[in-house]
Structure 1
Amino acid sequence: MAKRRKVANPLALAVLAGLLREPMHPYELGRQLMESGKDRHIKYNRGSLYMVVEQLRKAGFVTERESVRDTQRPERTVYAITDEGRAELHDWMRELVALPRAEYPQFGVALSLLGALEPAEAADLLGRRVEALEAEADKVRADVKDAVDHGVARVLLAEEEYRLALLDAERRFVARLAKSLRHPDHIRISPELIHPGPG
């Protein structure tokens, strides 16, 4: 069962992970989230980032390390992770990696209400989705190849491998669903739904 967190926003987890590497100013944390592509999974803006840092400070997970002032910018506060923050990060990560949780993607909502569309229109729209998924998967494959060619360690590409696996699985599912809507007399339940394959 998921543990109740003092600061439950996924952005807090990203902040703790960033500060695990080194003390930083929130602006620098935000820049690193964007450069690493993690902003695809963690929604934030400048205001929410500062708010989460303050919540983490109040919870005792981060602390003000120093204030830095240079001639170009106003005073900036650099934050560091505390021992409590490090323990929270590791505990939260272990939970997220080990325990599946219910997630609510928008496509799941669309599938649950698919009957609102005529079958032919739904099939055409699903066909367009297949094309978009294929294009996105091709881009991910190219990005992964480029990263591997530049010596990036595989563990740092796990997020992209997972994304690619989801895209491929969704593409197969959507193509099969579109086909069944075009040929309703050939509808059959996917065997994987009843008898899952080996893990």
Structure 2
Amino acid sequence: MECSRGGLNPLSVLVLGLLNERSRMHPYEMVQTLIARHEDRFANVRPGSLYHAVDRLTEMGLIRVADVERQGNRPERTLYETTDAGVAAMTDRVAGMLASSKQEYPELFLAVAQAHELDRRTVLEMLAQRLDAMRSELDDITGARHTLLAAGKPELFYLDLGVRITTLTAQIGWLEELVEAMSTGAMVWTDDPDFRAGDLRAQNERAPDSSSPHPHDQPAPRDSTKG
């Protein structure tokens, strides 16, 4: 059964990647491995969600049952493996994600776009909390990357840490500049005593001056050769 590029969610890509690497695994082992590798940073790795992903991938023909094990009185364990279609779908999806510049919807962008709905003090307090969390995350990721590099682990297996460090560093820098501007009063805000929302909104939305003729509306120069 075919799978479109958009048909594989992040957890499904992780499952296919594991099975392509390990050949045969049972779902609970997949959960343990993904969490041990901290790959739950890419998707919501929970037993229930992973079992659902395994069922869906099986229905799509991208993985299949390889074996059913039973040891003593323990419950049966179903082992899965990828199919050729599964490997093709996974590599196609990864290639598509690398090439795509599809619009995403990060909450941070929405939050700063609508921050003017809050008073200055609240915005500064919330940004202080966010910056503390982001700096802590940046320290953790930077430390993890240094540890992996020092251990001689090939960087190609954790390239995401590099892009996350760069992104976090840029976002922290921008937010720090915003906090500075708001703290010093350099940026006007909605709860300023002399704030006039109507004037600012009008400036933001003002259309070009219609009294000025458009270049195409100017009269054509007169041909002096004509009487």
Taking structure 2 as the reference length, the TM-score comes to 0.75
Q: Which residue of 1 aligns with 2:208?
A: none
What is the rounded CA distance, in whole Å, between the counterparts of 1:92 and 1:178 in structure 2? 39
What is the rounded CA distance, in whole Å, between the counterparts of 1:12 and 1:144 in structure 2? 25
What is the rounded CA distance, in whole Å, between the counterparts of 1:52 and 1:4 in structure 2? 16
Q: Which residue of 2 aligns with 1:148?
A: 149
Q: Which residue of 2 aligns with 1:171?
A: 172
Q: How much has 1:5 moved relative to structure 2?
A: 4.5
Q: Which residue of 1 aligns with 2:15?
A: 15
Single out whichever of 43-52 and 90-99 deviates more from structure 2.
Answer: 43-52
The structure whose residues are more often helix, as a share, is 1
Give CA deviations for 1:40-59 in whole Å, capped at 9, x if unaligned.
22013212211111111111
Q: Which has the larger radius of gyration?
A: 2
In the TM superposition, 1:106-121 aligns within 5 A as 106-121=107-122
Give CA deviations for 1:27-49 in whole Å, capped at 9, x if unaligned.
11111110111112201321221
Q: Which residue of 2 aligns with 1:191?
A: none
Q: What is the identity, as a one-letter code, of the residue corresponding to 1:80?
A: E
Q: How much has 1:97 moved relative to structure 2?
A: 0.9
User: Once the two structures are aligned, what percentage of the paired residues are identical?
Assistant: 27
What is the rounded CA distance, in whole Å, between the counterparts of 2:73 and 2:143 in structure 1? 39
What is the rounded CA distance, in whole Å, between the counterparts of 1:58 and 1:132 in structure 2? 40
**Aligned with 1:65: secondary structure?**
strand
CA contact (8 A) 1:7 1:55 kept: no
Q: Which residue of 2 aligns with 1:73?
A: 74
CA contact (8 A) 2:141 2:161 kept: yes
Structure 2 unaligned residues grouped into runs of 5+: 189-227
What is the rounded CA distance, in whole Å, between the counterparts of 2:101 and 2:7 in structure 1? 20
Taking structure 1 as the reference length, the TM-score comes to 0.85
CA RMSD of aligned residues (A): 1.9
CA contact (8 A) 1:25 1:76 kept: yes
**Aligned with 1:23: secondary structure?**
coil
Q: What is the identity, as a one-letter code, of the residue corresponding to 1:52?
A: A
**Aligned with 1:179: secondary structure?**
helix
Q: Residues 11 and 28 of structure 1: is their aligned pair in 2 closer, same or farther, counting only changes over 3 Å?
A: same
Task: Tell me the matched-pair count.
Answer: 185
Q: Which residue of 1 aligns with 2:186?
A: 185
Q: What is the identity, as a one-letter code, of the residue corresponding to 2:16?
A: L
Give CA deviations for 1:70-103 in whole Å, capped at 9, x if unaligned.
1252101111100000110110000011112222
**Aligned with 2:158: secondary structure?**
helix
Structure 1 unaligned residues grouped into runs of 5+: 188-199
**Aligned with 1:49: secondary structure?**
helix
